[in-house]
Structure 1
């Protein structure tokens, strides 16, 4: 016999992520349009130039994640949405790009680390807002995001 009410799932529907992305894009556009005009170097780049952001998302506080018996991990409490498959969204006035968290690992230094890669990030922007899962977005420069391996701490 099946229950009348299905068990709630912990995964958020796709429309939730789409709404979050649209809201973040709108907020970023409004924020950047109130700032000073683009610098000459940013304005001289072609609008179609992009770059890839690759790196890791780290939960370093032992109370912000749990370990599993296979060496993996997942966020807990306020970081419960930082899990394998969660969205990484990079938003600019020139557009947005995204990727997903993969390969969760508990490291010997007591941290939980996820890999991610976000291709086709618009280049030449004054600011980049990066949102991991449903965590608060943080602002970065292009230089900070183009290093050999970007480390984003979310705790």
Structure 2
């Protein structure tokens, strides 16, 4: 479901989210604008990019209103890794519980596995293409007899 985000405008992003999420119009508009701004910021040169601070979104609301689903669908749409963590499990370093660094490690692991699976799919497609090419080469050899010698004709 990854779409080229260069071509998407916030109304298109909202329309894509509308296919899966009912309601939450303001939230969908806010994340669509944030995603568009992020892609536009990434296109800028390095020196200008430093001047424009990225905007982060904190979605707050009661259980079951669709916060996680909006984030999950937006991540899938943009091809970004998604990791849901329960923040109440995290503590300051030195206390009992998980520290915030483990959250970053978990996110990196998700991103790594995502890139790994994309590379595996690419290699699998390339191997399939090569397999078809080489099988045709081996299958299409036709033996021809001429003056007592056997020759192979390749196509």
Smaller-chain TM-score bracket? under 0.3
Compute the TM-score of the two structures, normalised by the length of structure 2: 0.26
User: Bigger relative contact order, structure 1 or 2, given CA contacts below 8 A and separation 6+?
Assistant: 1
Higher strand content, 1 or 2: 1
Higher helix content, 1 or 2: 2
Compute the TM-score of the two structures, normalised by the length of structure 1: 0.26
